[in-house]
Amino acid sequence: MTKEQIEYGSHTIEFELKYSDRKTLGVKILPDTSVYVTAPTDLPLCKIKENLAKKASWIIKQKTYFLNFDTTEVSYQIKSGYAVHYLGRQYKVMVQLAAENEVNYNGNLFLITVKNKEKAQAVFDQWLKEKAMTRITEIAKPIIRKFGESFFMPKEIFFQDMPKRWGSCTIKDKLIFNPKLIHTPKRCIEYVVMHELCHMIHKHHNDNFFKLLTQMMPDWEKRKAKLDGYL
C-alpha cells in the first residue's frame, strides 16, 4: 500500500493506494476521513488519479460529512459554583478540603473532596474518565446485542481521547469511543454506538449505510440532531 495524492481546486486529497485483481476502481472514505483506493493491477497511476479527479467532489462531500460528526469542544472548570454536564444533565460543582480525594454526586450536585484544591480538576477528570468507560460500556451492551441479532458483534470496545471525534470504526472493525460522550444524553450515546456498529458493515456513508442505520435505529436523525446541538 502506497500513499498518493491529487489536487482538486484548493483541496489536496491524500489516499492510500492498494492494487488487487479486481476489475474496477474502489474508493472508501473511512470515519477518520482517510481515503482508501483499491485499483486493478494493470491500471496506471495516471489513470487512477484521473478517475479519482472525477470522484473528487463526492470524496470531499463524504469527508465533510465525517467532519460534521466532530465533537463540540467540551470544557469545564472544577470550582465551587461552576457546573458540568453528565449524561445530559447539568450538575453544580462543590469543592471541599478533606483527608481523601473523592468524587460523589447526589441530586444535582457533584461534591469533590480533595487534599489540595489545586488538584480538584485532575481528580475529577480522572474520576470522570473512569466513570465514562464503565457507563458508556453499560449503555453500549444492549445496542451491540441488538446489532448482533442480525450481524456479528465486536468482542470489546475501546476508549480514546479524540478532540474531533465522538467515535470511530477502524478498517479492522475496532470500535473506539470518546470518553467525553459521557457529557451527552444516553440517547446520543446509543446513536454513536449504533453509528459505529453500522460502519462494521458499510465503511463509508452511502445509501446502504443509511438504510442499515435506519433499519437498526429508525429515529437516528433525531438523536443525531440532539447530539449536534448539544453543549
In this structure, what CATH number is given to the domain that contains residue 218?
3.30.2010.10
| Domain contains 186 | yes
| Domain contains 117 | yes
In this structure, are 60 and 161 located in the same domain?
Answer: no
Which range, 1-5, 31-35, 64-68, 203-207, has the best average confidence (pLDDT)? 1-5
Q: Which domain holds residue 56?
A: 2-67
In this structure, are 62 and 11 located in the same domain?
Answer: yes
What global pTM score does this model have?
A: 0.69
| Domain contains 32 | yes
d(CA 78, CA 98): 16
Question: Looking up cell 483506493, which residue turns up?
Answer: 37
In this structure, are 108 and 201 located in the same domain?
Answer: yes
Half-sphere exposure of 122 (CA within 13 A, CB side): 7
pLDDT value at residue 100? 93
In this structure, are 130 and 52 located in the same domain?
Answer: no
Domain boundary, last residue among 67, 101, 119:
67
CA distances for 17 relative to 36, 41, 60, 222, angstroms: 6, 11, 17, 37
CA distances for 179 relative to 54, 86, 95, 209, angstroms: 38, 11, 23, 25
Q: Tell me the three state secondary structure of residue 106.
A: strand
* pLDDT (average), residues 97-121: 93
The alpha carbon dihedral of 53, 58, 62, 63 has a sign of positive
| Domain contains 121 | yes
Tell me whether residue 172 is exposed, middle or buried, using C-beta atoms within 10 angstroms of its C-beta: 0 to 12, 13 to 18, 19 or more. Answer: exposed
* Residue 132: its H or E element: helix 120-148
Instruction: Look over the chain and give the mean of its residue pLDDT values, rounded to a whole number.
Output: 89
d(CA 179, CA 134): 10
- Residue 112: which of 139, 86, 88, 74 has the closest Cα? 86
Structural domains in the chain (count)? 2
* pLDDT (average), residues 121-130: 95
Q: What is the DSSP letter of 117?
A: G
Which of these ranges, 138-147, 174-183, 219-228, has the smallest mean pLDDT?
219-228
